[in-house]
Amino acid sequence: RKSRGSNTDSNYTDLSETETYPFPSGQVGGHGQVPVDKMGRDMDEREQYRAILEDNLEYDILLENNPYDRDTIAEIMELLLDTICSKRQYIRIAGDDKPREVVKSQFLKLNCTHIEYVLSSFKENASKVRNIKQYLLASLYACFKSVSNRETACPVGERFIEADLERIVKNDLLEKLHLLVDADDRLHKAAASTEGTEENLRFRLEQIEKRLKQISVGRISAYERYAEGRLQRDIYLIERDKMNTESDSLSAEKERLEKELLSLSQSRNRELTETCDMAHRTLTADELTNEMLLYFIDRVNVFSGMRVEIVYRFSDEIAKLIEQENTSE
């Protein structure tokens, strides 16, 4: 995922205090100047607001980070422009008529986090949506807590006390690292108890696979001889049961050896080793440093209802190990 540069701390901002850009014709834009095109001419109102929205939403990065949603994002952009540039006194949203200036003000406060929230919500409810335009309009309006409309739901942006947020992130990280270290210890113990080297395990697995194929062919052959009357029923049953017993035994051995081979392979995984080394250092440190946090955590998303989403940098394999250790406790 691409970095958003200067917006690193945007998740901790009280969005109701985000600066708005009241930009009626003839007034200045967000940067103190009326936007102009490359030829130096004043842009029309719609293009002026397009430039503001593209800046507010970090539009290019938003498209790059969501390549499969480019059409929806473009549709959202046009919907925002239609609404902001509307000449109607009221805008109908979710069955209610909202003052155009209130809606316009809120839409000019939106940032990329709001749009990604709306995209996520739309994907989850796409099959239930009948009127896409009205759904998106209502979602865009509802994703920001308006000062003039206190009853409006606010999916993102409520302020967290910094100390509380740090405590939540720290506790979750330490819990994940304890699980990772425990999983790594379990893997090393399993690897130490394996019967021989990786080469020997693979060789034995090849032998088992070959024998299981032979048994499968033998079963078919025995049944065909029995069906043709060339093999008595009691003899057929004895041969069949004997082959079934051997097959079950070999399948159980195969499953056990595959687990041993996986443990041996994982215990030698360089990425896992490096991550676990850093986990040990973090767990035994006197205090968490910024370096430690950035090593494990990609970003922290804060939603309404005091809900926090912590996005870790763990690979899929390491994340799976942590989850397995957590469910096994």
Query: Tens of pLDDT along 54-85?
Result: 998 889 988 988 888 899 999 999 999 999 99
Q: What is the pLDDT of residue 33?
A: 44
Instruction: Among 80-89, 124-133, 183-192, name the one with the lowest average pLDDT.
Output: 183-192
Of 26-30, 57-61, 169-173, the range with the lowest mean pLDDT is 26-30
- Token pair recorded at residue 97: 């008529």
Q: In angstroms, rounded to a whole number, what is the distance separating the alpha carbons of residues 36 and 131?
A: 36
Instruction: Give long-range contacts, CB 8 A cutoff, 24+ apart: 1-5.
Output: 1/65, 1/298, 2/61, 2/64, 2/65, 4/58, 4/61, 4/112
pLDDT at 144: 60
**Percentage of residues in the chain having pLDDT higher than 90:** 16
Beta carbons of 152 and 16 less than 8 angstroms apart: no
Check pLDDT > 50 for residue 114. Answer: yes
Helix (H, G, I), strand (E, B) or coil at 155: coil
Distances (CA, A) of 238 to 38, 146, 217, 314: 89, 80, 16, 53
Q: What does the DSSP 8-state code read for residue 144?
A: S
Higher pLDDT, 284 or 163: 284
- The DSSP element (H or E) to which 284 belongs, if any, is helix 270-284
Answer yes or no: is pLDDT of 142 > 70: yes
Reported as a single tens digit per residue, the pLDDT across 255-307 is 888 877 776 665 556 777 788 888 888 988 888 888 888 889 888 887 766 67
Better-predicted residue by pLDDT, 153 or 37? 37
In the predicted structure, residue 146 carries a pLDDT above the cut 80: no
For residues 156 and 305, is the Cβ–Cβ distance under 8 A? no
The residue ranges of DSSP E strands in the chain, in sequence order, are: 90-93, 96-99, 297-303, 307-312
**13-36: buried (b, 16+ CB within 10 Å) or exposed (e) per residue?**
eebeebeebebeeeeebbeeeebe
Mean pLDDT of the chain: 75
- Per-residue pLDDT for 24 more than 80? no
State the average pLDDT over residues 172-196: 76
pLDDT of residue 21 exceeding 90, the answer is: no
| pLDDT tens, position by position, 208-220 | 998 999 999 999 9
Query: What pLDDT does 265 receive?
Result: 64
Strands (E), 42-175: 90-93, 96-99
Per-residue model confidence as pLDDT tens digits over 32-56: 344 444 434 345 888 999 999 999 8
Helix (H) or strand (E) holding 249: helix 233-267
CA distance 85 to 46: 6
Mean local confidence (pLDDT), 95-100: 84
- Partner residues linked to 146 by β-bridges: 149
What is d(CA 188, CA 306) in angstroms, rounded to the nearest whole number? 39
pTM of the model: 0.36
For residue 102, pLDDT over 90 is answered with no
Alpha carbon of residue 186 to chain centroid? 27
Rounded Cα distance between 245 and 249, Å, is 6
> 3-state class of 35 per DSSP?
coil
CA–CA separation, 226 and 165 (whole Å): 73
Higher pLDDT, 192 or 77: 77
Q: What is the pLDDT of residue 80?
A: 93
Q: Which helix (H) or strand (E) holds 135?
A: helix 132-142
